[in-house]
Amino acid sequence: MNNNKDTGHFQRKMQARHVIMLSLGGVIGTGLFLSSGYTIQQAGPIGTILSYLIGAIVVYLVMLCLGELSVHMPETGAFHSYAAKYIGPATGYTVAWLYWLTWTVALGSEFTAAGLLMQRWFPSVNVWIWSALFALMIFLFNALTVKFFAESEFWFSAVKVITIVVFIILGGAAMFGIIPMADSEPAPFLSNITASGWFPNGATAILMTMLAVNFAFSGTELIGIAAGETENPEKTIPKAIHTTLWRLIIFFIGTIVILSALLPMSDASVLESPFVAVMERVGVPYAADIMNFVILTAILSAANSGLYASSRMLWSLADKKTISPWFAKLTKRGVPLNALLISMVGGGLALLSSIIAPGTVYITLVSISGLAVVAVWMSISASQYMFRRQYIREGHAIKDLVYRTPLYPAVPIISFILCLASCIGIAFDPTQRIALYCGVPFIAVCYAAYYLTERVNKKRGQVHDASTTD
């Protein structure tokens, strides 16, 4: 990668703090702030803690695989390139489109949600006006420079991280009676966590929760996408991977423990945000307004990460010459503006479908994007397994790898199997089964599109060769 600003190359401007916050920014979103109460109500407090622990381990195994690949070959749009090189070009092409769709659909729903949240403070202003303003803001953050994007994402994520840390400290103090509860309630200690037993809705509820947990952890793989624009990737990427694991465990598990301890299981899913209820019980003034602001920040942070990820995927497809080279053009500041514009249009169409056809088109898009994340993780595990085999076959020494996935081949095999189990588990949940009905045909269409374009390109090449020899 060239660092010269005038050549229109990607610039290595992201530091370790940016990459860590980028991956956290993609993960800590509305799933934690809004949906966690429903998860507790489904699987019970202990079941939810277990499923989040398993989910964190699965993510960590996938990230260990991604670490070896992205340190050895740091490039923008990373795992699509790895899948194309080590599994097959059609798989790489399909992974890129799946991931692009995941984030563009997320963009649509995030801009809508951000507009709805503003209604609390400005009820007379139409939702679409706020959605349009936030969309413009996120576009500008991405369009200026990579460093500007990274810095904005760092501060967006910092708001969320600080809120969760304060929440865990205050909640923990209230839980053990160090600070008094509002309305002079007695300190609950662990009574709410153990009151419902281990698995109040049966062990199968954990499997159903595991699927939601995997989707909640999606975003950690952004570390790999950012590899091509990161300073010293051989040091930054491993550091980001290791710190992300313990931060996920602290933030997610810590939060679930506090929520479970301070809210009875029966109350958890009834509330719009369990965070607001807990903060009100602890006696935090303006709890609802504070959380409204934090959730708004979480949504904009996820949209910021999403636009970055989707534009880099389009750029990577064009760089591999599988779509028009128009998408590969970079500005002098190293920003793929054309890919950014089309991703923004995709987000706009998703936003439109969420308003016009929420029960048909939009639910299909959401289902595909949900399945896509786990499919991408499977491709990362498989790519690392194939890469290491090829690396040894070519006569290279494993000690020459700057970063090595530990316990090979167990780590890629176990992570692949656990992700596959999540996909199979979807078939047993009637509410999530649509992901398979929509996702599998979409994957088939992507493969067919790849082979069709390859045939067309070959024919064009043959016609061109024939015309030049005549």
Delineate the domains of the chain, giving CATH numbers in brackets: 16-456 (1.20.1740.10)
The pLDDT of residue 377 is 93
CB-based contact 313:96 (threshold 8 Å):
yes
The C-alpha angle with vertex 392 and arms to 391 and 396, in degrees rounded to 5, equals 75
CA distances from 402 to 16, 238, 413 (A): 17, 10, 22
Residue 12 in tokens: 């290595």
- Say which amino acid occupies 437: Y
Instruction: Find, among 377, 453, 67, the residue nearest to 241 by Cα.
Output: 67
CB-based contact 426:77 (threshold 8 Å):
no
Residue 434 in tokens: 């649509």
Cα torsion angle, 35, 37, 38, 40, sign: positive
- Give the separation between CA 418 and CA 155, rounded to whole angstroms: 33
Q: Give the list of residues 6+ apart from residue 249 with CB closer than 8 angstroms, or none.
A: 53, 56
Residue 284 in tokens: 């935090």
CB-based contact 229:29 (threshold 8 Å):
no
The pLDDT of residue 462 is 64
- Give the separation between CA 325 and CA 320, rounded to whole angstroms: 9
Query: Coil, strand, or helix at residue 75?
Result: coil
**Distance separating the N- and C-terminal Cα atoms of the chain:** 39
The one-digit pLDDT tens for each residue of the chain (470 residues) are 444 333 455 656 566 677 777 767 667 766 677 667 777 777 778 888 888 888 888 888 999 999 899 888 877 667 888 999 999 999 999 999 998 988 888 888 888 888 888 888 998 988 888 988 999 999 998 888 777 778 888 888 888 888 888 888 988 888 888 888 777 677 777 777 777 777 777 777 777 677 667 767 777 787 777 666 677 778 878 888 877 777 778 888 888 888 888 877 766 655 556 777 788 878 888 888 888 888 888 888 888 888 988 898 898 888 888 888 899 888 888 888 999 999 999 888 888 887 787 767 777 777 777 788 889 999 999 999 999 999 999 999 999 998 899 999 999 999 999 989 888 877 777 777 888 888 889 999 999 999 998 888 787 776 655 555 55
Instruction: Find, among 317, 420, 331, the residue nearest to 378 by Cα.
Output: 420
Residue 110 in tokens: 């995030």
The pLDDT of residue 240 is 80
Q: Give the list of residues 6+ apart from residue 28 with CB closer than 8 angstroms, or none.
A: 157, 160, 161, 164, 251, 298, 301
User: Residue for token digits 């964190």?
Assistant: 56
Counting DSSP H helices and E strands in the chain, the numbers are 19, 0
To the question of pTM greater than 0.85 for the whole model, the response is no
Residue 308 in tokens: 């970055």
| DSSP characters over 156-212 | HHHHHHHHHHHHHHHHHHHHTTSSPPGGGPPP-TTHHHHTT-S-TT-THHHHHHHHH
CA distances from 420 to 117, 206, 290, 415, 433 (A): 36, 16, 39, 9, 15
The pLDDT of residue 227 is 67
148-165 in b/e form (b: 16+ CB < 10 A) is: bbbbbbbebbbbbbebbe
The pLDDT of residue 9 is 56
